[in-house]
Amino acid sequence: MPEGDTIHHAASRIRAAIAGTVPERIATPHPRHGMDRWPERLRGREVVSVDAHGKHLFIRFQGDVTLHSHLRMTGLWGVYREGERWRRAARRAWLVLASGPVEVVQFDGPVLELMSDRRVRTDPRLAALGPDILGEGFDEREFLRRLRADDPTRPIGDALLEQRTVAGIGNVWKSECCFAAAVDPWRPAGAVSDGDALAIARFARERMPLSAREGPRARPREVYGRAGERCRRCGAIVLERGQWDGNRATFWCPGCQR
């Protein structure tokens, strides 16, 4: 599943491709109800900005219209030169924005909606989001306040996935951040000190900008995807298990994470 770094990476590529331009071709090939009139509604409007908050991406157009996207498990943003081969089949494209020699394509939804700026500000799902882990003014005290407001029996690994606490962390980063801070992802959040919680967040703040800039290959790979292999820090065997209500995959080292 795409995490905050992937979405920020997509946002900067899309920004470089179409911000400040008026897309001359807008298409919504996917036969999805409610998207029929998007080309008409967006025609002639300049793309004012492209930004991300956590796993949400916003393409803001002149005249109070914003495209909001969330990729969940399946979606993908692509930026292509004209004539370049797309990474997914054309029938899976939900949206194409073409400007000069570039095409910005959103594949496989599943959340793609056109909203007024006011609705973006007031939509309860968006208003409830916690501070963006990649945001410039990340507020550590607000992160701790929100973490403490959540169920203290929830394992810290899963609590980090709560987008109302902190926006942008998914399975890879929760696993890697807990490892970096030597915190057992199974420890109840209520038993994790502020210092440990901040060590987790600070590792993400330090390392995520790199993969936001350069793509997922720049992510750390100490535990995620390494179940059954030896921990590079202590030599114990890395484990994987599903966690909490969503049974979300967690990787950790039982030897050095406490």
Q: Does 3 participate in catalysis according to the annotation? A: yes
Span interacting with Zn ion, options 79-87, 143-151, 222-230, 231-239, rule CB under 5 A = 231-239
| Closer CB to Zn ion, 48 or 236, in the complex | 236
Q: Does 232 bind Zn ion (CB under 5 A)?
A: no
Q: Does 55 participate in catalysis according to the annotation? A: yes
Q: Does 231 bind Zn ion (CB under 5 A)?
A: yes
Q: Does 174 participate in catalysis according to the annotation? A: no
Binding string, residues 147-176; x marks residues near Zn ion by CB under 5 A: ------------------------------
Q: Does 256 bind Zn ion (CB under 5 A)?
A: yes
Q: How far is the CB of 254 from Zn ion (least distance, A)?
A: 8
Span interacting with Zn ion, options 98-106, 126-134, 189-197, 247-255, rule CB under 5 A = 247-255
Q: Does 65 bind Zn ion (CB under 5 A)?
A: no
| Closer CB to Zn ion, 30 or 233, in the complex | 233
| Closer CB to Zn ion, 107 or 224, in the complex | 224
Per-residue H/E/C for the chain: CCCHHHHHHHHHHHHHHHCCCCCCEEECCCCCCCCCCHHHHHCCCCEEEEEEECCEEEEEECCCEEEEEECCCCCEEEEEECCCCCCCCHHHEEEEEEECCEEEEEECCCEEEEECHHHHHHCHHHHCCCCECCCCCCCHHHHHHHHHHCCCCCEHHHHCCCCCCCECCCHHHHHHHHHHCCCCCCCEHHHCCHHHHHHHHHHHHHHHHHHHHHCHHHCCCCCCCCCCCECCCCCCECEEEEECCCCEEEEECCCCCC
23, 31, 55, 214: the catalytic one is 55
- Per CB under 5 A, residues contacting Zn ion are 231, 233-234, 236, 253, 255-256
